[in-house]
């Protein structure tokens, strides 16, 4: 699965970055799954969200999901919608988003996945977007509203620029589609744990474990589970079910929302919740 | 999917993975029932007995004399609930029934599509939820009451611009969550495939009737067909019967708002290509691809996107799109009310104003023009009274 196209110019810096393959392999040897926190770049402002990422990395994040804020995020619940609004109001742009990634690369080499809505990519032009993403140090791109049917051009750009094109698998995804997704996808398969949009749920959907096992049967790629994963016990449960990673978003963004008046407390809470979430990934079965 | 849902390069299915199987199911049902005798007999029954089809093609004599052209009005304003929207909600509502769905959801801006969905929910016995931006709820209180009287729950949307685009976002989120039991009844030729094609199909009854009626009255085809364009459903409904008649000019009147450089809803005139609400089309957006807020005096044209087939008709040149400013639309509103005793919806007033502009060009003197009068103006009285400085 390693993407090593030789037709592209990667900077020396980006060649030393860890790939998804290397990261999953490293964790596998330790009997752990990946803890992957999500941030909206620029929420609540550029500097604070960079400090949040620093906190996450310090607490043991194995990879990062970075969302670029969008005006019409149809796959997101109220928490991430509010984060998008905060970031856009604080002046976030696509260019500043790439700048944000470059800043992260000054202190971390772990895999970074970009989570976007397709219009941001389309507007800039696919080739330019993927080139800039690569140059800023992005490993993978997932567009929430880009199913495989519409992704031929994106996959071409991803290949050309050495980026993993990541796709989602959901409860409603048939086995036939899973096989197809598996053929097209790079990096990992993003398993959507809930029937619904992003947001904190108190309990893990009962069907999540079945879904993880079903996806596992149809793809050799690593699997990461997201949507509604908020507590260490959720992480533990999906890890035990065979997931290679857990993506936590809304639960962490809620900490931003709750502590807007006290940035130090926000960062402290972020650090301690991330520590607890990372700890829960150490229960992977061999 | 059986088809790719593309009109040239526009359209498609730009939605989260969770929705793909629902779109496949909907496409299959639509393709199965659109030529199904029992389904179509039942739909025809409701279109005539419940909604009041066929609507007349009315020769507007006074206006014709004034403008020096022959002007016909397709009277969709006479339908039950007051606009063409009911053609589509009856079609999709019946389809949802045939599919065994248990619940309807819809978005609404002005409330016209919400009301047309609410009455169909009552008619077929579906629990129905309609999403409406809180700004629109404030502007259209009576329409909220009308929906509620039909047993529909109106859910306020507080995000974004608190208008139609955000109501669609929220309806899509609901659908993502309840996709197995719920049918999302989209109100225009927008959204992912199969919606643009399906909504056009259910609205094409307008064009089929019009074509027959004009041939009966004039023994020839019209020179021009003019309709307003929000998402584009009434326009495609009437255009659909004339697409292959190259000598018939097809003209779409967009919500020009404050005019060039100002706030507007004229997506095809001032927008650029982008992906919104599941399809590639023209959109109003900024440099980064963030969607802009639209503005039009008529809530039904207040949308930063447009149906993908219109984008294709624009780039191929088959149809022309003209921005009509708020103040021009208000003049169209007064013109038709005064000369014909017909009070048009503010959306339809854009088409009337567009027809006036067309008729005034010397080269168009004496031509036969059909205006799709998509709805009646009762819902707009308070807006118009404010604009005219009359206390309602
Ligand atoms: C009377 C009327 N005409 C036109 C429209 C615009 O929609 P479309 O472009 O889909 O016909 C609306 C939408 O609310 C409407 O109520």
What is the percentage of chain A residues whose pLDDT exceeds 70? 94
Residues of chain B with pLDDT below 70 are 391-392
Q: Domain of A253?
A: 16-281
Ligand 1 centroid – CA B30 distance (Å): 23
Q: Whose CA is nearest to atom 15 of ligand 1?
A: B300
Question: How many CB pairs (< 8 A) connect A and B?
Answer: 118
State residue B138's pLDDT score. Answer: 87
Helix (H/G/I), strand (E/B), else coil: A106 = coil
Mean pLDDT within A177-206:
92
pLDDT band at A15 (very low <50, low <70, confident <90, very high): low
Query: Which among B16, B20, B288 has CB closest to A75?
Result: B16
Which of ligand 1's atoms lies nearest the C-alpha of B112?
16
Ligand 1 centroid – CA B298 distance (Å): 9
- Structural domain includes residue A62: yes
Q: The complex's ipTM? A: 0.95
Domain with residue A132: its CATH number is 3.20.20.70
Query: Which among A72, A78, A197 has CB closest to B176?
Result: A197
**Residue A282 above 80 pLDDT?**
yes
Measured in angstroms, the CA of A90 and the nearest CA of chain B are apart by 14
pLDDT band at A206 (very low <50, low <70, confident <90, very high): confident
**Residue A119 above 50 pLDDT?**
yes
Which of ligand 1's atoms lies nearest the C-alpha of B113?
14
Mutation target among A96, A147, A151 for the B interface, most CBs of B within 10 A: A147
How many domains is chain A partitioned into structurally? Answer: 1
- Structural domain includes residue A2: no
> From edge to edge, which strands make up the β-sheet containing B70-75?
B57-59, B70-75, B368-373, B224-229, B249-257, B319-325
pLDDT band at A203 (very low <50, low <70, confident <90, very high): confident
- Structural domain includes residue A37: yes
State residue A286's pLDDT score. Answer: 58
State residue A233's pLDDT score. Answer: 95
**Residue A14 above 60 pLDDT?**
no
Tokens of B190: 């927008």
Chain B hits for A228, CB-CB cut-off 8 Å, are: none
- Structural domain includes residue A70: yes
Measured in angstroms, the CA of A220 and the nearest CA of chain B are apart by 20
- Structural domain includes residue A4: no
- Determine whether A29 is an active site residue: no
- Structural domain includes residue A6: no
Chain A hits for B169, CB-CB cut-off 8 Å, are: 72-74
pTM of the model: 0.96
State residue A120's pLDDT score. Answer: 98
* H or E stretch covering A242: none
- Structural domain includes residue A9: no
Measured in angstroms, the CA of B14 and the nearest CA of chain A are apart by 5
Nearest to B281 by CA among B308, B250, B252, B242: B308
State residue B266's pLDDT score. Answer: 97
**Residue A283 above 60 pLDDT?**
yes
pLDDT band at A285 (very low <50, low <70, confident <90, very high): low
- Spot the catalytic one: A43, A55, A76, A236: A76
Measured in angstroms, the CA of A282 and the nearest CA of chain B are apart by 30
Look at B20 and A146 and tell me if their CB atoms are within 8 Å: no
Residues with CB under 6 A from ligand 1: B 83, 109-110, 112-113, 188, 228-235, 300-301, 345, 347-348, 374-375
CA angle B353, B300, B257 (to 5 degrees): 55
Cα separation of B332 and B349, whole Å? 5
**Residue A3 above 50 pLDDT?**
no
Look at B17 and A172 and tell me if their CB atoms are within 8 Å: yes
Mutation target among A74, A167, A191, A207 for the B interface, most CBs of B within 10 A: A74
Cα separation of A210 and B343, whole Å? 59
Query: Which among B13, B17, B275 has CB closest to A119?
Result: B275
Mean pLDDT within A244-270:
97
Q: Which of B79, B108, B109, B188 to mutate to test ligand 1, by most ligand atoms within 8 A of the CB atom?
A: B188
State residue A2's pLDDT score. Answer: 37
- Helices (H), ranges, chain A: 12-15, 20-30, 46-58, 78-89, 94-105, 118-124, 126-136, 152-161, 175-184, 207-218, 232-240, 250-258, 263-279
Look at B177 and A195 and tell me if their CB atoms are within 8 Å: yes
Mean pLDDT within A19-44:
97
- Structural domain includes residue A153: yes
**Residue A205 above 90 pLDDT?**
no
Ligand 1 centroid – CA B299 distance (Å): 9
pLDDT band at A10 (very low <50, low <70, confident <90, very high): very low
pLDDT band at A195 (very low <50, low <70, confident <90, very high): confident
pLDDT in tens, A153-172: 999 999 999 999 999 999 99
* DSSP summary character for residue A68: P
Chain A hits for B288, CB-CB cut-off 8 Å, are: 93-94, 120, 123-124
Q: Whose CA is nearest to atom 5 of ligand 1?
A: B300
Mean pLDDT within A254-273:
97
Q: Is B343 left (phi over 0), alpha (psi -120 to 50) or beta?
A: beta
pLDDT band at A16 (very low <50, low <70, confident <90, very high): confident
């Amino acid at each position: 699965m390693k993407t090593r196209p030789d037709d592209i110019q990667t900077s020396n810096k980006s060649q030393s970055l860890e790939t998804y393959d290397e990261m999953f392999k490293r964790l596998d040897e330790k009997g752990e799954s990946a803890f992957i926190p999500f941030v909206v770049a620029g929420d609540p402002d550029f500097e604070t969200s960079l400090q949040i990422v620093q906190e996450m990395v310090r607490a043991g994040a194995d990879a990062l999901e970075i969302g670029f804020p969008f005006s019409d995020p149809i796959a997101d619940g109220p928490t991430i919608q509010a984060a998008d609004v905060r970031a856009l109001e604080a002046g976030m742009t696509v260019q500043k988003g790439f700048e944000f990634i470059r800043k992260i690369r000054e202190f971390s080499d772990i895999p970074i996945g970009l989570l976007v809505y397709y219009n941001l990519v389309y507007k800039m032009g696919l080739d330019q977007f993927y080139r800039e993403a690569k140059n800023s140090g992005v490993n993978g791109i997932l567009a929430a509203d880009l199913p495989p049917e519409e992704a031929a051009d994106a996959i071409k750009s991803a290949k050309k620029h050495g980026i993993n094109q990541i796709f989602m698998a959901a409860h409603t995804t048939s086995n036939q589609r899973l096989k197809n997704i598996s053929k097209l996808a790079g990096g990992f398969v993003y398993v959507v744990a809930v029937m619904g949009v992003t947001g904190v749920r108190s309990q893990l959907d009962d069907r999540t474990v079945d879904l993880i096992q079903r996806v596992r049967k149809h793809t050799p790629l690593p699997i990461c589970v997201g949507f509604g994963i908020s507590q260490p016990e959720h992480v533990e449960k999906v890890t035990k079910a065979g997931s290679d990673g857990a993506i936590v978003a809304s639960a962490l963004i809620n900490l931003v929302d709750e502590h807007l008046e006290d940035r130090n407390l926000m960062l402290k809470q972020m650090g301690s919740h991330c520590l607890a979430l990372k700890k829960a990934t150490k229960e992977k079965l061999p | 999917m059986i088809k790719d849902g593309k009109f040239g390069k526009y359209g498609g299915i730009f939605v989260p993975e969770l929705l793909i199987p629902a779109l496949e199911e909907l496409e299959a049902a639509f393709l199965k029932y659109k030529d199904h005798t029992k389904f179509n007999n039942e739909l025809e029954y409701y279109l005539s007995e419940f909604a009041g089809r066929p609507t007349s093609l009315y020769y507007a004599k006074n206006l014709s004399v004034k403008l020096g052209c022959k002007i016909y009005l397709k009277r969709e304003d006479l339908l039950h609930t007051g606009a063409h929207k009911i053609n589509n909600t009856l079609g999709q509502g019946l389809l949802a029934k045939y599919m065994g769905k248990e619940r309807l959801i819809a978005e609404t801006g002005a409330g016209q599509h919400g009301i047309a969905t609410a009455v169909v929910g009552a008619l077929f016995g579906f629990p129905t939820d309609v999403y409406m931006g809180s700004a629109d709820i404030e502007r259209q209180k009576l329409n909220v009451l009308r929906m509620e009287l039909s047993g529909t729950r109106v859910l306020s949307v507080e995000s974004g611009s608190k208008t139609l685009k955000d109501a669609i976002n929220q309806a899509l989120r609901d659908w993502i969550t309840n996709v197995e039991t719920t049918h999302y009844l989209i109100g225009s030729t927008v959204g992912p495939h199969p919606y643009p094609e399906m909504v056009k199909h259910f609205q094409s009854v307008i064009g089929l009737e019009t074509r027959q009626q004009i041939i009966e009255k004039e023994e020839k085809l019209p020179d021009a067909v003019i309709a307003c364009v929000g998402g584009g459903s009434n326009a495609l409904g009437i255009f659909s019967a004339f697409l292959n008649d190259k000598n018939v000019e097809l003209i779409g009147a967009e919500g020009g708002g404050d005019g060039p450089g100002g706030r507007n809803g004229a997506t095809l005139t001032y927008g650029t290509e982008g992906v919104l609400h599941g399809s590639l089309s023209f959109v109003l957006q900024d440099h980064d691809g963030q969607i802009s807020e639209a503005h039009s005096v008529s809530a039904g044209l207040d949308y930063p996107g447009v149906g993908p087939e219109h984008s294709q008709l624009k780039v191929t040149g088959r149809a022309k799109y003209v921005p009509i400013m708020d103040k021009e639309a208000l003049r169209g509103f007064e013109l038709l009310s005064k000369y014909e005793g017909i009070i048009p919806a503010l959306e339809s007033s854009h088409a009337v104003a567009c027809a006036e502009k067309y008729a005034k060009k010397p080269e168009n003197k004496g031509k036969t023009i059909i205006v799709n009068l998509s709805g009646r103006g009762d819902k707009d009285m308070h807006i118009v009274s404010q604009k005219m400085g009359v206390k309602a």
